[in-house]
Structures are given as C-alpha cells and as structure tokens.
Amino acid sequence: MPEGHAHHHPHGSHGHGHRDFWDEQASSYDRRTAWIEDRWLASRRRWVCHRAHGATLEVGSGTGANIPFYPADVTLTVTDSSPAMLREARTRARVAGRAVTVVESDGHALPFGDATFDTVVATFVLCCVADERAVIAEMRRVLRPGGDLLLADHVVATSRPLRAIQRLVERVTARRHGEHFTRRPRALVEDAGLTVVAESRGRIGVLECVHARRPG
Ligand SMILES: C[S@@+](CC[C@H](N)C(=O)[O-])C[C@H]1O[C@@H](n2cnc3c(N)ncnc32)[C@H](O)[C@@H]1O
C-alpha cells in the first residue's frame, strides 16, 4: 500500500493528531530513549512479541523497536500515523533482515478488513492516541475470532504519590504531544469484548503488559 495516503480518523478536531510532533522525533527517537530501552522496555517487548503468531499487525510501530523481537515465522505488517517513524521502521526491518509490510495509517481507522489478523500488537501507543477506546475497538475489529491482542504501556501507578506526579506531568504532555500517564488499557479491553488471558505489571505498577483474546 502506498505511503502518503494517511487515513485520518473522523474525529475532526484532532486532525493530524500529533503527527508532526512524532515526525520531528523520529530520527532521534532511538537515541533519546536508549537509556530506558534496555533497563525497562526490552523485557516488555520480549513478553509481548514472543506471544505473536501468524498474520500480525502492529499499530503505532514507531521506529520499529519491536521488529527484532518477533518469532521468525510471524508475517508482520507495521503501521504508524507518522511517515518519518515508518522510514525508521523500514530501516530497522532491513537491518534485521525481515520482510515487513509498512502501511501509513491512523489507529482510529485501520485500513484493513474485519477479522484479518491472528495477532494485533500495540506497545506504548495507547498512551498517545486521542481516543484509546476507539483504537482498541479498531484493533479488535481487524482481529479474527480467537486472535490475540498484545499490549504494553506505561499506565497509572499503584501508589498515590506517584499517581499525583503522573497527573501533573500529563497536564503538560497531553497538551504538548498527546501523551497520557494516567490511562490503563487493561481496564478497557474487557469492555471491548476481549478476554484477558495473561498479564504482567511491574512493581510500582507503571509498566503493564496485557495478553487478551477475541472470543472465537
Ligand atoms: C511512544 S511512541 C512508541 C513507538 C513504538 N510502538 C515503541 O514501542 O517503541 C508512539 C507512536 O505512536 C504513534 N502514534 C501516535 N498516535 C497515533 C495514531 N493515532 N495512529 C497511529 N499511530 C500513532 C506515533 O507516531 C509514535 O510512533
């Protein structure tokens, strides 16, 4: 599918969302996040990606940090609303020697038919979208019955003082680039008609992985 044909979601006021922000971040993103990558994120990527199987869609792939973690027999399609992020993801796929289909699209309106994928993945994306319920509903729609939704994100903390800090930080980041620190996708996937089959939450509760399944 050609790039440059963005699927802008219908929430008119969001327009391009924060696409320009992410485009600007793309080329320096891996360098700036390297310090959290090994210490905190890599183990979550492993948890999520090792559960992927078959035709797999990644939503909001960013620079493609998950690509090296997928089992070799996964057929991978990655999407993001930022063309600059997708250029980085292409490079990552090439370096990893993996065939990856790259499609520019917004998570609120995925350009795929119902029940297309065996697995749908989103890591550190639902914190950044305008409407996380709508994106979860879209991911469920493109998942075949019996298919797996795999999520990792930073979520609202378990401790009250930390939650207060998250609320303060979010006041700035939500306005600046749409990033939220007080969300918890785990609480929404069941509302969306999915069943949680495995989960893992860090000690202070800020990092959470969820493996949910669309009932078959
Ligand atoms: C914090 S980065 C995480 C990237 C990657 N998933 C990872 O684990 O490193 C968030 C990504 O979500 C993308 N994004 C934000 N809003 C989106 C939307 N509505 N649809 C698709 N991608 C979106 C951004 O362009 C960015 O690449």
Distance 154 CA to ligand 1 centre (A): 13
CATH number at residue 143: 3.40.50.150
Residue-number span of the structural domain to which 169 is assigned:
12-213
Rounded-to-integer distance, Cα 38 and Cα 123, Å = 15
Rounded-to-integer distance, Cα 77 and Cα 89, Å = 11
Indicate which atom in ligand 1 lies nearest the CA of residue 45.
Answer: 8
Q: How many domains does the chain have?
A: 1
71-107 pLDDT tens trace: 999 999 999 999 999 999 999 999 999 999 999 999 9
pTM (predicted TM-score): 0.93
125 within a domain of the structure (yes/no): yes
Indicate which atom in ligand 1 lies nearest the CA of residue 179.
Answer: 1
Does 147 contact ligand 1 (Cβ within 6 A)?
no
43-77 pLDDT tens trace: 999 999 999 999 999 999 999 999 999 999 999 99
H helix or E strand, kind and range, residue 102: strand 100-104
